[in-house]
Amino acid sequence: MSDHKTILITGVSSGFGQALAATALAAGHRVIGTVRRETDARAFERHASGRAHARRLDLTDSAAIAEVVAQTSRELGPIDVLVNNAGYGHEGILEESPTDEMRRQFEVNVFGAVEMIQAVLPAFRARRRGHIINITSMGGYITMPGIAYYCGSKFALEGISDALGKELAPFNIHVTAVAPGSFRTDWAGRSMQRSPRHIADYDALFDPVRQARKDKSGHQLGDPSKAARVMLDIIENDTPPAHLLLGSDALKLVRDRLAEMSREIKAWEAVAVSTDG
Ligand code: NAP
């Protein structure tokens, strides 16, 4: 029996999604990749004729999510792996950023991902197999000023992944939350939504952060093709992790954050236990 899988990846037009799709196709897997533009669909299907299938989908369109998954399963058979990759970063000081920006951030990064999961789960459960990979971020563990909405969405997806993994373990369905550090993709370039500045009080804190992120775009430490190789290994692993950090920056920042949390918990331990009845 072939161990080649059918992998559904959202957002294969650039970055991690494109790199993972290319790596999976090269390894002989079949990939269904979602894109928003017809030109991206054509470019994707040129990858590997017969094994690269593009589907047009905007993750803010709930009805289309269910339809694309149902139609794809009818046409191509069962999906083995869902990779919730599509997403973007909102950057802006919270007080300056309209909550509509937050809603949109959560629509794509959280609700879109959850609706994709709900669309594949009935078939995964029926077959008692499947793997869901959610691309979260080190911003799902640590925070920085100016990306509160983004971190909120990635903390949400980390938490959802963790609970979901416990619900699905009895059905032999794996859930892995992959949290990358800074990688060379379009994330901080064309994809980032930046709320305009207007409160001078935040200039000193935030202007250097915004400028540094712009300057670093395209020169980040992480190589998406190496991340893709690791993610494919995770897909091919029978005992994949529930959480995986990618990148030495993510590793250091998350470790520092956990140590800081431990210190704070210890410092306030007596207060924490003082409320027991
Ligand atoms: P990217 O190159 O900008 O790719 C983002 C992908 O998501 C594109 O294919 C984009 O499609 C798609 N997308 C965005 N909004 C969408 C929507 N509403 N509906 C459908 N597709 C949509 O950036 P990336 O870094 O590869 O991002 C992939 C994931 O990694 C994201 O979830 C991101 O938050 C996460 N991440 C990135 C980094 C990093 O440093 N790069 C670090 C941690 C986590 P279009 O081409 O149509 O815009």
CATH of the domain at 209: 3.40.50.720
Q: Is residue 156 part of a domain?
A: yes
Phi, psi of 52, deg, nearest 5: -110, 115
Q: Is residue 1 part of a domain?
A: no
**How confident is the model at residue 2, as a pLDDT?**
59
Q: Is residue 14 part of a domain?
A: yes
Instruction: Report the alpha-carbon distance of residue 70 to residue 119 in Å, rounded.
Output: 8
- Tokens representing 125 are 């459960």
- Tokens representing 18 are 């494109």
Q: Is residue 65 part of a domain?
A: yes
Range of the domain at 192: 6-274
Task: Report how far ligand 1's centroid is from the alpha carbon of 71 (Å).
Answer: 24
Atom of ligand 1 at shortest distance to CA of 183?
40
**How confident is the model at residue 215, as a pLDDT?**
97
Q: Is residue 176 part of a domain?
A: yes
- Average pLDDT per block of 10 residues along the chain, 277 residues long: 87 98 97 98 90 98 97 97 98 98 98 98 98 98 98 99 98 98 98 98 98 97 98 97 98 98 98 97
Q: Is residue 266 part of a domain?
A: yes
Catalytically active residues are 150
Residues 6+ apart with CB under 8 A from 162: 175, 177, 242, 243
Atom of ligand 1 at shortest distance to CA of 60?
18
Q: Is residue 205 part of a domain?
A: yes
Amino acid at 251: L
Residues with CB under 6 A from ligand 1: 11, 13-17, 36, 57-60, 85-89, 108, 135, 137, 180, 182-183, 185-187, 191, 220
Q: Are 196 and 96 in contact (CB under 8 A)?
A: yes
Q: pTM for the full model?
A: 0.98
**How confident is the model at residue 1, as a pLDDT?**
41
Q: Are 56 and 35 in contact (CB under 8 A)?
A: yes
Q: Is residue 269 part of a domain?
A: yes
**How confident is the model at residue 169, as a pLDDT?**
98
**How confident is the model at residue 3, as a pLDDT?**
85
Residue 125: CB atoms within 10 Å: 15
Q: How far is CA 108 from CA 13, 62, 75, in A?
A: 16, 10, 26
Total number of domains constituting the chain: 1
